[in-house]
Chain A
Amino acid sequence: MVTTAEPTAGQVAGRRFRSARGIVLVLLCVIVVGVVLAALKPSRKPDDLDPGSPKPGGTRALAEILKSRGVDFQASRSAADAAPRAGAGTILVVTRSERLTRTDLERLRGSVGDLLLVEPGRETLAALAPGVEQDGPTFVLQADPQCNLPAATLARTVEFGQSETYTVPSGATGCYPESGKPRVVQYQSANRTVTVLGAARPLTNGELTTEGNAALAMNLVGARSHVVWLIPDIHHESSGDRAGDRTLTDLLPRGVKLFFPGLLVAIIPVALWRGRRLGPVVAEVLPVVVRSAETVTGRSRLYRAHRARGRAAEALRAGARDRIVPLLGLPRTLAQVLPAQDPGAAREVVTAVAARTDHDERTVAAALYGLAPGEAPQGGAPGHPGQPATGWGEPADDAGLLALADLLDDLERQVRQS
């Protein structure tokens, strides 16, 4: 038999998931790929490798040490400025080479003097160190020289962190290899020494004191008495490239520029189409209807909020008496007579109930009239005439009220069955 039961919340959720799982999967893939790419790409701050920056990523410490040792240290902010300064007997340190344009690279290639390329990109390598190529990154922190380059052998172990490795052209020296691929490559070109350094970390303020980092940095950078430290700014005025002056609108093709006003205009008929209704919305004039038992539930909440156990108990007792008394064959009017008014009547009821149930008179008197066990109306003495009716036999706590309700139910049931 096929049942067409209401789908449970779980089934509905499952169906919604199945219908949307394609989108969810694509979104997840995008997120995962994005996270992986972001994790792989080393984060660079604008002032990393800046010889003026005292931050952990800056190179001010190295610059100051070199200056104090009598090395002529010049920082340069553009290739156009650096190229003429790099004459014979100087070493040009090229950092942040990703900011260099093709024109810049042409200029640098025309310079004379030694070159130290720090984390060069593909284009920079091709332009300034032809023959050396990137050979994949390595993530092993430290490495030993394993070559006979004096700068390296003097520095011994160096901490590179994440580093690029390079191929070694013939006639070049490769140092600090990881599974055969060196992190540092040095070779002699026609008239100059070109050194490629795979990681900037040995030069930075933060890591200069680690292992042999300082030694390697001093040996590589301070190899000549004049140092030109090139850290290019992006789109520098003097770079000669005017691309930076063009705004976004200049760069957009004409078709795209026309597309957006077209889209804006298209919104108008769509809005008018959706906005025009086929006739007015009709409001139903609903009659005001209140739940009839609202006053009763309201009173119940009031009782509860004020813990009016006395009043609640009195109401329960009055109701029970009203049902029990006619069952006993006594006049109904007797039900609402309180012991204070007529102890005899109360005693009569208590005796009759006790006779028909397995409870004794004291319990019955306590249940039906709220009299304390000692006050059971046996001696005919009136209870406390001065005490208000509601004050009698107020249950001490909520459990007492619950117990009273159960006791009254039990009395009524036993009287009914007798």
Chain B
Amino acid sequence: MSDPNPDATRPLGVVVGGSLTKGLEVRLDPGQTAQLGQYAKTDVGGGLSILGMVTDITLKSVDSGPTVWPPGEDEPALLREVLQDTGVYTALAVDPYLELGENGEEPARARRLPSHFSAVHPADQDTLDRAFATEGPNIPVGAPLGMDELEVGVDFERLFERSAGVFGKSGTGKSVLVLHLLDAMLTRSTAAATNSDRTVALVFDMHNDYGWEMKFQGPSTSRLRSLKQRHQTDIELYTLESRAARSDGQILIGTRDIQPDDLEVLRETLDLSDLAVDAAHACRRRFGPGWIDEIIADEPSAAVVDKLWREPPEGDVNWSQAAAQMGYPGSLESLRRRMERLTRREFVRTEGSQFGDVIEHVVRSLQGGKSVVVQFGRFGNDLVSYMLVANMLSRRIWERYRDSTERSEEREAPNRLVIVIEEAHKFVDRSLAGQSIFGQIARELRKYNVTLLVIDQRPSQIDPEVLSQIGTKFTLQLDSDNDVEAIVGGVAGRSGLRQVIAALESKRQALVFGHALPMPVVVQTSEATNADSARASLRARLGLPEHEETSPAAALFGAPPDSDPPGDPS
């Protein structure tokens, strides 16, 4: 059933049964084909039509005869031809989603059914336009399945109003899709009248995809212009490496910047026991902000000894004695070893506090209307580095946004911030969701103008409560049943959606549903391209002129009106 519908003007079939909760049963007309995820519409009278999605395709027989005694290879061909669509036939399960009026009424949830034998047609562009009409701009996400010449878009405002997620196994096209969404966000944002009207992104770019260029690995390596090339004056690139090309600044973390709370999220990745984390809290309490510097020293300092003993023991004091004195005999040693390893990283500086400057620069950029991409370079495969930086930066920036929002009665509210994280399940799994800042951001929806765009391969590992707060989900192919179930859990018509996800192709096919769309849609996502025509088309869909108008100030200084020029916080 993979062929596109051969004749879109002919009915797909007729309604032969069904219910609002279980969907319609449609008998496929002879000679027609349908695909899982395809849109279909049927009239219900009174000028209303129902738009639904094909969620299953079944081969049926009217009675047991043809299946009990199927025609063999040596049977006349006529017997097979005759039995097709008489003794045996193809049935479509169509989940009804929307009721559409003739006169531009807002689409409503389908609450009535067509009568028996109503003709079911493939949806046309006019129907899709009515179904997916948005008040504001929309981001085109691709062509609905089986309708290559049509296009659907997601509501720009609603997409970033709540957290969103892009899920799919490796190599399915998540990164290209995210780049497309971010590109659209920045394109639209750049045209906003004021910084507070802008939506900006803070991207934790694990594999250097969203900075200067995105590389594709395959039979031949190709490169796609990424955000910095597309929006030179609206993006700042930060890196963890000191000698990275095209960097606007380096992320540096001082040991004094790391709080025990920052280690909570690293518990599993750093293999820290609960007792070791407790020991970190105890160290912070006793030794102050320089606690990491103290515990990674070879021997306890005099200050440490003073704080642990009223009367120091005779002779030299070692860490075993200090750990025993603190009540963490084994776990403090374990914590010391891990902190020692953590501080060996190039971007972690001992005996100092660096992070405040970084935060200050990043927040100023973000609230000034620029998006920030933090590239991890060679640290991209080091999950500890990724989680440490993403968590520390996000927590502190969220606190700044929270403060700005709470003071917004006095001042202008901050712009909307979308934090983009990869491997999201590592941050918001069941055990960590309570402590992680990302769990908190997802749960608080848009309270402080901060939302998430999570990218993940294993949605089943994400805390269900957090996952349920993801407003719009882009789901590419997933292998595990658990992952599929996690995505559709609690969604109306989930059994149908489960089938649809299971049938997605391995590349560039996505099921999109949730807050930004009136009904689910399976799309063939756009091909990655550097073509100017694609950019012009995107701008048109976003309600912008085809060519970017560069203001004289931006041309001269390369910065939006009220933001600071990029600086190196190091």
Partners in one complex: no
Interface residues of B (CB under 8 A from A): none
